[in-house]
Amino acid sequence: MQIKLRPNDDCTNGWSAILHPRTPAPALKEAISADWLVIGAGFAGLATARRLAQNCPNDRIIILEAGVAGDNASGRNSGFAIDVPHNVGSSTAELEKAVNYKRLMNAGIAHLKEVVDTHSIDCSWSQRGKYHCAASAKLVDSLLKHHAEELERLKEPYVWFDRDQLRERLGTSFFRSGIYTPGCILLNPAALTRGLADTLPNNVVLYENSPVTWLDFEGKVHAKTAFGEVRARKLILANNGSIGQLPGFERQLFTVASYASLTHPLSEEQRLRLGNIEEWGVTPANAISGATMRFTQDHRLLIRQQFDYTPSMSVTEQSRIHVRGQHRDVFLSRFPELSDVQMEHFWMGFFSITRNGSPRWGRVRSNTYAAAGCNGVGISKQTVSGVTLADLACGIENPLIDDMYALGEPTRLPPRPLLDLGVKAYLAKECWKGRKEY
């Protein structure tokens, strides 16, 4: 079948713009055959390929990537490798699921840490933890207190901070309360993704700027790009939101866009206006209306804010301009004393969402496996999805496979245009509920 839908992002990414230029791997320009074809060089595809290479050292593994590693969603996110879930229900079953989830996230982080250490990948990796914050009394009561109870039930360490304590640590008085958990890793996601792509084992060959335009996986796997083709025994689909157009994935996931802005490095004098602060990361209690924020190692401030429903995997220039202005307002509401600080970079990216948060993971056909549906938590989650998927595909026992199954399967989405109406209404409702977090 023809593959028409691909992430049509804005070809800008602050995280890679602040790194040294990188020469991508060559595009595919011939007909080749392999044991495994992996589509997508994000956290899911890279982790799967690395693990397949370890599991099957004599197999040939090909990765076809439409764009460039480090400029995909994996390289353009906010750089939080999350370790504990935010929203756990109150039943025993949901608590058990949260325990599975936590084990998986920690395994994903451990896998990344091992690769980062082994290959000395310079991605500003730092276990700074994160602050989960709310500005309004209503959200403190409805979401933060609930989150604290969840952490207690999960026996996770945390510290509750009030406005003055947060001001001292973050340099802003915007938040009423926040919960600090110590396990989250902050990093430069473009540097990490590039590093993972550039240190793949010898039996993995990555082709960048090689979008798959035609794919058949009914029998043997056959994929075509503009100038080449791959025939393989087995297929790994790690192409995030664009997986939804393939047979077997209909009405299971949809894509959203989110946007990020990054300032220039603050001068010493600008930093002093905030107080004596060190690198930090903030996630919003209301993920839809609030802003994810970071103060980076090189003294920049990041804002990630706004979600748009994007079934066509593209956004208009008008939306970009609108959100860019919105980010300025968000920034000034948190840091009014920094009105002279400019946003040096602005970009957006897409990721896939399932209705109930369960990933689209596992065997799809006898020769095909998939890892998609990250629901916005992709660094640790898609990494462990990839590692476990490779073990599943190779028939290797790994207790984490049971944890992946325990996350369940995506519930079916309504058909369009009902889906469009439902998602837009949900986003609008959450924005209204969290309007004071803006």
Binding site for ligand FAD (CB under 6 A): 3, 6-7, 39-45, 64-67, 72-74, 76-80, 82, 211-212, 238-240, 242, 258, 260, 304, 349, 351, 372, 374, 376-379, 382
Backbone φ and ψ for 154, nearest 5 degrees, come out as -85, 0
Smaller CB distance to ligand FAD: residue 168 or 298?
298
Distance CA 85, CA 96 (A): 12
Smaller CB distance to ligand FAD: residue 274 or 377?
377
In the complex, which residue's CB is closest to ligand FAD?
A: 378
Min dist. Cβ of residue 316 to ligand FAD (A):
17
CA dihedral 204, 207, 213, 216 (to 10 degrees): -10
Smaller CB distance to ligand FAD: residue 52 or 374?
374
Collapse the DSSP code of 422 into the 3-class scheme (helix H, G, I; strand E, B; otherwise coil) and give the result: helix
Smaller CB distance to ligand FAD: residue 170 or 260?
260
Min dist. Cβ of residue 141 to ligand FAD (A):
26
- Integer angstrom CA distances of residue 291 from 129, 234, 283, 317: 17, 40, 7, 21
- Any idea what DSSP says for residue 287? T
Smaller CB distance to ligand FAD: residue 169 or 360?
360
Min dist. Cβ of residue 384 to ligand FAD (A):
11
Min dist. Cβ of residue 404 to ligand FAD (A):
14
b/e burial code for range 322-351 (CB count within 10 A of at least 16 → b): ebbebbbebbeebbeebeebebebbbbbbb
Smaller CB distance to ligand FAD: residue 42 or 129?
42
Smaller CB distance to ligand FAD: residue 270 or 354?
354
The answer to whether residues 210 and 31 touch, using CB atoms and an 8 Å cutoff, is: no
Smaller CB distance to ligand FAD: residue 86 or 147?
86
Min dist. Cβ of residue 221 to ligand FAD (A):
13
Min dist. Cβ of residue 374 to ligand FAD (A):
3
Min dist. Cβ of residue 260 to ligand FAD (A):
5
Distance CA 283, CA 430 (A): 16
Rounded to 10°, the helix 189-198/43-55 angle is 30
Min dist. Cβ of residue 76 to ligand FAD (A):
6
Residues whose CB falls within 8 Å of the CB of residue 165, separated by 6 or more in sequence, listed in order: none
Please, which residues bridge with residue 293 across strands? 282, 303
Nearest CA to 379 out of 113, 236, 189 is that of 189
Distance CA 351, CA 370 (A): 15
